[in-house]
Structure 1
Amino acid sequence: MPVRASSGIGRRCPVHSSSQRSPGSPDYEFRPPDDWSDFAGVVGLAYGGYDHSPDHRAVVAELLEPKRSLLARTADGPCATLAGYSLEMTLPGAGPSPVFGLGYVAVSPAHRRRGLMRELVRRTLTDLHTARAEPVAVLNSTEPGIYGRLGFGTASQAVSLAVPVEARELAEIPADGGPPLTLDVTSPAEAEAAVAAVCRGCLGERPGMLRREGAWLRRSLADPPADRGGAGRLLCMLATDGTGPRGYALYRLTAGWTRSYPRYTVSVHDLGATDPAGYALLWRALLDIDLGGTVTANARPVDDPVLALLTDPRSAAPTVRDQLYARAVDVDRALAGRGYAVETELVLEVSDPLCPWNEGRWRLITGPAEADCVRTRAAADLALTARELGSLLLGGGSVTQLALAGRVTELRPGAVRAAAAAFRHDPAPFCPVVF
């Protein structure tokens, strides 16, 4: 996805501009890929040897930005990969802002335990810092234990739901006085313009939301038949009024029968609405689909309104898990580039061995409209690592929880309370896109 060019953090630039060799691993060459074919073999092996369909490969190939990506190779060919993405993500109090996305960080089984993943990430972050490019890096983690060692913290969480037939009742909400809403079910391709409009309307709703246009929107709507896993085709339910779309739901059905009764599973892949009425109407319709049994949603915000709409949320068995991971490329620009809930002044002592330019003490001053973060020699109020700082960047992490776990050290009485009030964001961050 293109990022608007400007000076400073909005500048789009190649992350890796030349071939380099790691001094500690003379047999490995690090350079940008030519295209997705340089990644395909390594990614396929690292993720279990499954062959993706041609349609799937075409989608991920369209998203790849070769000049912003990196691979390690030997004389025998590529052996480790890192895809880089130019993203625009909503940050607390700052709206959509440039961030750098990492994906497909993979190492061939024959080259594991040699530090290749760490080296790929280190080179990427170093080049972002040198170029004064995006100040925040984000990723989705397949294995959550890995990226904390590289300074990435859990920046958002998601909840999975499984609403059984007997718990489908929703609370009534007052009429909003707007135009009457109607529902329509169509294919994702036919609904592309409507989905794009709703996504734009929801972009500033909460931190972590991505601008989805072009290839990123097409990926959200893609439905390769070979990747359905026995389920039906992807469907799009639209809530509209006389002025345009107010919500959408992407879902599919998987056939199932219980004692000769149809109990199809309704899997909700994505749902967005620009107002409460559209949101409630979509959920009511999904919970009342003909032949439908359990309605599942594997990734919703932890404070999703449906949890307040369900009269029996316990039966939906909500399960919370980690979702988006983030880290500061540059502490000063990352902290000054987001908004804060209250005015405060804090001195943070940051430990960041992977990005040594971030090490030291930083004075953060937050105000109603802007924030400032500069180096200082003043006594620190809080001590933390890059990992904990990453957890706070989108407003989802709890400073109090981290302090009680011993991962943030309070050096001045009251500093934890002050930081907790400043960093936390309501509503909670959430990213509907896996990249």
Structure 2
Amino acid sequence: MTTSRTSVTTDLRVLRPEDWDQWYSNLLRAFGGVPESAEEQELWKSLTEYDRFVGAWDGDVCVGSAGAFTFQVTVPGGASVKAAGVTMVGVAGTHRRRGVLTSMMRRQLDDVRSWGESLAVLTASEPAIYGRFGYGQATQSLSVEIDTVRVRLEVPAGADDVRLRYAVPAEALDVCEAVYARRVPERPGMLARMPGWERVVVLDPESERGGASPLQCVVAERGGDVVGFARFRVKPDWDVTGSHSAVVVEDLEALDAASQGALWRFLFDVDLTSKIVARGRPVEEPWHHMVTDIRRCGLRRRDALYVRLVDVGAALEDRTYQTPVDVVLDVEDAFCPWNSGRWRLTGDAKGAVCRRTEDAADLALSVRELGAAYLGGVPLAGLAAAGRVREIRQGALAEASLAFGSVVEPWLSHGF
């Protein structure tokens, strides 16, 4: 129960199927009130895990929403760890600054702990919101706008042996998903595709195309095996000088360098286009080293996945470490006090143990910094330079920062 400044009481309860329409309408309004197609709403309704979603109610009116999908996220070392995918968080404008969001976050993290899940993850509509609840920015994504008139691609050997064919996106879904599944263990932050989520990647309502074509798909094959795919649109743009149309990349996965090169070369060469636009791509990809002029690729980073350790000990044991580490962490966690205190982490590339200890601390930090560093993309040393991690034992910071790192830059492979 939450009591507001105006003595209005809200009732926080698990979402019921019969309340979904009103609950979702409140969410849409919180995000601007732009209606979605019936197809989109039906898909999200089918994916809703009612026992993991909550609503805040003022009488019979829904004024707040929050949910947590069941996900499996890849962590350094390649393991797939169960995580709560926090989603659809919104508060009615009439009930802001009354503790509704805090009460939902409190309930949600208590629930996640009771479910035995060590991690909660989310993407933030406003980055400033979630730090106070212990979420740290753990991955970034890349937006690109490549001038394909001036930039050329130098593909690796073997690209000419890859056969490309057009396919109907929905009809090629199974073979594309098989490629995606093989890619998931290779990069921290990637999400295993849970049942039903394969429908999201081929959802193609006209309202979401931004004036571009319906979704198109090209499948890459070698020796009869599917080795990659690209899903994209073409956005027309003509003037008196001719076409300035863009290839809009929605998805691209490949199992090897030659297949990557063949797919990107195809996108570079789509007729009557002069640029490639892609958003939400990994910060580092093979094509970065194939282009002739990286300056004309319009690279821009932004925050992506935020990570929250719900159970510090279990989460730190779930991943491996790229170099041996033996460090005592003094963790501060005001929102989930069961995490606060000193933890001894010992581990290497084969596994790890993390237990409470009375030993003297080597590093002091909050759970937010642990979340940021967890997937290996944010160095503890960088956080220390910003005053967010404090080194107590000399040398502990360098040891832990190197151990927590990842050979491959982490990446959130799809939103939720």
- For residue 180 of structure 2, the aligned residue among 199, 202, 216 is 199
1:4-403 map, 5 Å: 21-22=1-2, 27-35=9-17, 36-131=20-115, 133-175=116-158, 180-403=161-384
The TM-score normalised by the length of structure 2 is 0.96
Matches of 1:101 and 1:363, distance apart in 2 = 28
Q: Which amino acid aligns with 2:175?
A: A
1:175 deviates by 2.6
Q: How many residues align?
A: 412
Q: Which amino acid aligns with 1:33?
A: L
Matches of 2:318 and 2:60, distance apart in 1 = 43
Matches of 2:149 and 2:241, distance apart in 1 = 18
The TM-score normalised by the length of structure 1 is 0.92
| Counterparts in 2 of 1:172 and 1:195: CA distance versus 1, 3 Å | closer
The alignment partner of 2:36 has SS state of coil
The alignment partner of 1:92 has SS state of coil
1:99 deviates by 1.0
1:258 deviates by 4.0
Matches of 2:177 and 2:349, distance apart in 1 = 32
1:431 deviates by 1.1
Q: Could you list the per-position Cα deviations for residues 209-245 of structure 1 after superposition, in whole angstroms to 9, with x for gaps in the alignment?
A: 1111431111011101232222110111111123321
Matches of 1:336 and 1:346, distance apart in 2 = 13
Deviates more, 1:257-266 or 1:394-403: 257-266
The alignment partner of 1:400 has SS state of helix
Contact 1:345/1:364 (<8 A) preserved: yes
The alignment partner of 1:212 has SS state of coil
Matches of 1:241 and 1:130, distance apart in 2 = 47
Matches of 1:405 and 1:282, distance apart in 2 = 40
Matches of 1:214 and 1:222, distance apart in 2 = 15
Matches of 2:362 and 2:240, distance apart in 1 = 63
The alignment partner of 1:354 has SS state of coil
| Counterparts in 2 of 1:348 and 1:26: CA distance versus 1, 3 Å | farther
Q: Which amino acid aligns with 1:68?
A: R
Matches of 1:23 and 1:129, distance apart in 2 = 25
Matches of 1:194 and 1:263, distance apart in 2 = 33
Unaligned runs of 5+ in 2: none
Matches of 2:245 and 2:86, distance apart in 1 = 36
Contact 1:181/1:278 (<8 A) preserved: yes
1:167 deviates by 3.4
Contact 2:3/2:10 (<8 A) preserved: no
Matches of 2:340 and 2:373, distance apart in 1 = 17
Q: Which amino acid aligns with 1:296?
A: V
| Counterparts in 2 of 1:128 and 1:172: CA distance versus 1, 3 Å | closer
Matches of 1:72 and 1:332, distance apart in 2 = 32
What corresponds to 1:415 in structure 2? 396
Unaligned runs of 5+ in 1: 1-20
Matches of 2:106 and 2:33, distance apart in 1 = 27
Identity of aligned residues (%): 37
Matches of 1:426 and 1:225, distance apart in 2 = 39
The alignment partner of 2:186 has SS state of coil
Matches of 2:380 and 2:22, distance apart in 1 = 41
